[in-house]
Amino acid sequence: MKAPSSAQRCVAFLYVQMSTSRRPVGTSFLVHRSADDRRSSTTYLVTARHVIDNASREAADGLIWVRLNTRGGGTDWIETKIHDWLPHSKDETVDVSVLPLRPSFEKFEWAAIDIATALDDGTIARRGIGPGDELFFPGMFVSHRGQQRNVPIVRMGNIAAMPNPDEKVLTGIGLIDAYLVEARSIGGLSGSPVFVALDVVWQDDNGEWRGTGGQNYLLGLMHGHWTGTVTSADEADDWPGDPASEQVNMGIGVVVPVRYIVEAINQPKIAIAREAAERRLREGTAQATDLATGISVTGA
């Protein structure tokens, strides 16, 4: 399995301003949604809601700073207001926040995930997606995030359990609907996009082999992971110090399903603004300021 370079280019790093410096708080990624007539598209920055909530308690200036690579080399910042990030409107346990944002193509080096590649129930059923299928997710490794450029890492793993509405997953923000994945999430990867990588060929329920070429679908976003306390000397052979005090990553990550991202960018507050900008485009009255809300007015 090889992650495409576009998966890393869709990632942006999030920071908050502390008293003397900016501190990294998580990963975000860009998605776009095309209008029905394909003449325009809307671009959004997506991250985990808990990243924004945590940042709101720490930011000295009420801002979240988006760090992106520039085309000329190096990085630059995009200033965003915390209150402009919108959570999922119907469920406080959905760990998703979105921001309408379209970075300058002339200045920044970036890509956006077409939300049409979101994994839906039909694809899950048709391809028999379930435990064992491979996945990958790019994001920030806080210990090596890059001094001159953003350096996203790519972690790989497998689906361990599918979402089950009758058995939600207990996390620090409550019971949530989520995938469990055999992959170690680490600090800084919260909010990363998670892709499922499908085989070139697969066997359907009738035992027939089919193939469409390899394809990656957006599975969701990374919520986080569990840690456990080592409680015995045998378990702690590789850990110095008091075993009872050691916190160990249990190796299972929690992924918020992509359908909640789709719902978040289609919530009324966002959809009304999008439809108004698309209407101005059709009428020929679109303004350059529409770019700030994520509407591309250059599509043919």
Write the burial class of residue 43 (CB in 10 Å: 0-12 exposed, 13-18 middle, 19+ buried): buried
Q: Where are the alpha helices (DSSP H) in the chain?
A: 5-9, 49-58, 121-127, 259-265, 268-283
Average per-residue pLDDT for the chain: 81
**Prediction pTM value:** 0.83
CB 136 within 8 A of CB 154: yes
Q: How confident is the model at residue 4 (pLDDT cuts 50, 70, 90)?
A: confident
What are the strands, taking DSSP E only, across 50-93? 63-69, 75-81, 86-87
For the residues 153-180, what does the mean pLDDT come to?
A: 90
- Between 260 and 198, where is the model more confident? 260
Amino acid sitting at position 207: G
End-to-end CA distance of the chain: 35
CA-based nearest residue to 92, from 175, 151, 168: 175
The reported pLDDT for the residue numbered 271 is: 86
CB 226 within 8 A of CB 251: no
pLDDT tens digits along 214-232? 688 999 999 986 655 444 4
Q: How confident is the model at residue 29 (pLDDT cuts 50, 70, 90)?
A: very high
Q: Is the pLDDT of residue 158 over 60?
A: yes
pLDDT tens digits along 188-198? 899 999 999 88
To 10 degrees, the CA torsion angle through 260, 249, 50, 262? -10
Architecture per CATH, 5-293: Beta Barrel (2.40)
Least confident of 54-68, 118-132, 285-299: 285-299
Q: How confident is the model at residue 211 (pLDDT cuts 50, 70, 90)?
A: low
pLDDT tens digits along 32-80? 987 665 566 789 999 999 999 999 998 889 999 999 999 989 999 999 9
The reported pLDDT for the residue numbered 11 is: 96
Least confident of 4-8, 11-15, 117-121, 156-160: 4-8
Q: Percent of the chain, pLDDT > 70?
A: 76
- Six token digits for residue 5: 């370079």
Q: Percent of the chain, pLDDT > 90?
A: 49
Rg of the chain on CA atoms, in Å: 20
The reported pLDDT for the residue numbered 96 is: 96
The reported pLDDT for the residue numbered 145 is: 82
- Six token digits for residue 220: 């969701």
Residue with tokens 């379930």: 130
The reported pLDDT for the residue numbered 237 is: 37
Q: How confident is the model at residue 212 (pLDDT cuts 50, 70, 90)?
A: low
pLDDT tens digits along 13-27? 999 998 888 999 999
For the residues 162-178, what does the mean pLDDT come to?
A: 88
Q: Is the pLDDT of residue 247 over 60?
A: no
DSSP helix/strand/coil, 16: strand
For the residues 149-165, what does the mean pLDDT come to?
A: 93
List Cβ neighbours of 79 (8 Å cut-off, separation of 6 or more): 63, 65, 66
The reported pLDDT for the residue numbered 222 is: 94
